[in-house]
Amino acid sequence: MSVNLYDHANELERAIRQSEEFTELQSMYDAVNNDESARGIFENFRDIQLGLQQKQMNGEEITEAEIEQAQKTAQLVQQHEVISKLMESEQRMSMLIQELNKVIMKPLEELYGSMEKEGPTQ
């Protein structure tokens, strides 16, 4: 019997969409987007994050001014109740995805883990 992994992946996608973690994240995301002030702060925060990540990936130096700007923006984000709740929801969703990834990767970890325990074959 052949197992169609894509069918199972699609089932998992539907389950994620119906999960409490995702519905809460979606609700908080909508709340931020419906609040003009929150949306502006959040978009600025994301732009700064992406810019810094891009510079790191390109091996470019991040200036002290950029670090300071990122810290100030992060403080604004943490102080804004709606954005703070969104970020908490993002964190819970991220933890769920990490846990699911561990489950998905378990067969490979067991396979390669057993090879490491046995040592090289001769």
Q: From 1.20.1500.10, 1.10.3720.10, 3.40.470.10, 3.50.50.60, which CATH number describes the 5-118 domain? A: 1.20.1500.10
Q: How far is it, in rounded angstroms, from Cα 114 to Cα 33?
A: 48
Residues 24-55: pLDDT tens digits?
A: 999 999 999 999 999 999 999 999 999 999 99
Q: pTM to 2 decimals? A: 0.78
DSSP letter at 121 equals: -
Query: Structural domain boundaries of the chain?
Result: 5-118
**Token duo for residue 77:** 């984000």
Residues 43-93: pLDDT tens digits?
A: 999 999 999 999 999 999 999 999 999 999 999 999 999 999 999 999 999
Q: How many residues are given for the chain?
A: 122
- The total of other beta-carbon atoms located within 10 Å of residue 38's CB is 20
